[in-house]
């Protein structure tokens, strides 16, 4: 057997002498590619909670807190390395928006800021995620209509009674009495509102 043939066999993923190292290398390469895709999408597109969950499944097949925390750490590090300051500014701006909504139109409900924005891992295209606890999901819709805030209903997921996507103009204050039309903004600020049963949870603000 030639030396080149021996080298080829040694580097083959099927070689029983090297499976663990090769699998680890492949996982690391995949993780790097996924993180890079998340950063680029967060900068130039829309990065939703579904995108984050999909990335977790691709990397580890797990969505537990430890895997999510590691993904956020790596995404933040990648963004900070190539786009210094962008993550901090985006996270701060989106937190301020969430606080304004929670203290304004959503004040009658028990609300929390969750997801990438709450974790300080947001990028400009990251969707802000708010969870509201309400006895009647329709009361949330009525509050939004009274505040003249545009929204679109989406199919609720497990544990949710309703799911709404808000599209807000970036330059406008988000207060009652003002009309928000996503068609007037080239890139509106998206806020996902997940409505769940009240369940006696303790009230917390962003």
* Of 29-33, 108-112, 198-202, the least confident: 198-202
pLDDT at residue 183 in the model:
40
DSSP 64: S
**Alpha helices of the chain — where are they, by DSSP H?**
3-11, 19-44, 49-59, 65-82, 86-103, 115-118, 137-146
Structure tokens at 80: 């900070």
CATH fold of 86-196: Beta Polymerase; domain 2 (3.30.460)
pLDDT given at position 201: 45
User: Residue 139, Cα to own-chain centre: how many angstroms?
Assistant: 25
Helical (H) or strand (E) element with 121 = none
Output 112-116 pairs: Cβ under 8 A, ≥24 positions apart. 112/204, 112/205, 112/206, 113/205, 113/206, 115/49, 115/52, 115/192, 116/47, 116/49, 116/52, 116/72
Structure tokens at 118: 């709450």
Q: Cα 200 vs. chain centroid, distance in angstroms?
A: 26
pLDDT of residue 60: 82
Cβ atoms of 168 and 149 closer than 8 Å: yes
Which candidate, 174, 94, 162, 93, places its Cα nearest to that of 128? Answer: 94
**pLDDT (tens digit per residue) in 3-58:** 444 444 444 444 555 455 557 778 889 999 999 999 999 999 999 999 999 999 99
Percent of the chain residues past pLDDT 90, beyond the cut: 67
Report strand pairing: 189-196 vs 162-168.
antiparallel
Would you kindly state where each structural domain of the chain is located, as residue ranges?
3-82, 86-196
User: Per the structure block, which two tokens stand in for 37?
Assistant: 């895709």
């Amino acid at each position: 057997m030639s030396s080149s043939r021996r080298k080829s066999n040694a580097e083959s993923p099927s070689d029983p002498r090297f499976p663990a190292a090769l699998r680890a290398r492949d996982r690391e390469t995949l993780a790097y590619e996924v993180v890079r895709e998340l950063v680029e999408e967060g900068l130039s597109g829309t990065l939703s909670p579904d995108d984050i969950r999909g990335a977790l499944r691709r990397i580890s097949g797990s969505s537990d807190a430890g895997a999510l925390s590691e993904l956020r750490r790596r995404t933040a590090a990648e963004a900070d390395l190539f786009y210094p300051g962008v993550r901090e500014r985006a996270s701060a701006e989106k937190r301020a928006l969430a606080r304004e909504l929670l203290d304004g139109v959503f004040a009658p409900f028990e609300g929390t800021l969750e997801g990438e924005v709450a974790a300080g891992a947001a990028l400009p295209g990251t969707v802000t995620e708010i969870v509201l606890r309400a006895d009647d999901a329709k009361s949330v819709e009525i509050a939004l209509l009274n505040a003249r805030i545009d929204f679109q209903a989406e199919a609720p997921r497990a544990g949710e009674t309703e799911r709404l996507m808000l599209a807000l103009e970036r330059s406008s204050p988000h207060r009652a009495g003002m009309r928000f039309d996503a068609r007037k903004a080239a890139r509106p600020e998206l806020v996902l509102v997940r409505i769940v049963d009240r369940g006696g949870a303790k009230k917390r603000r962003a």
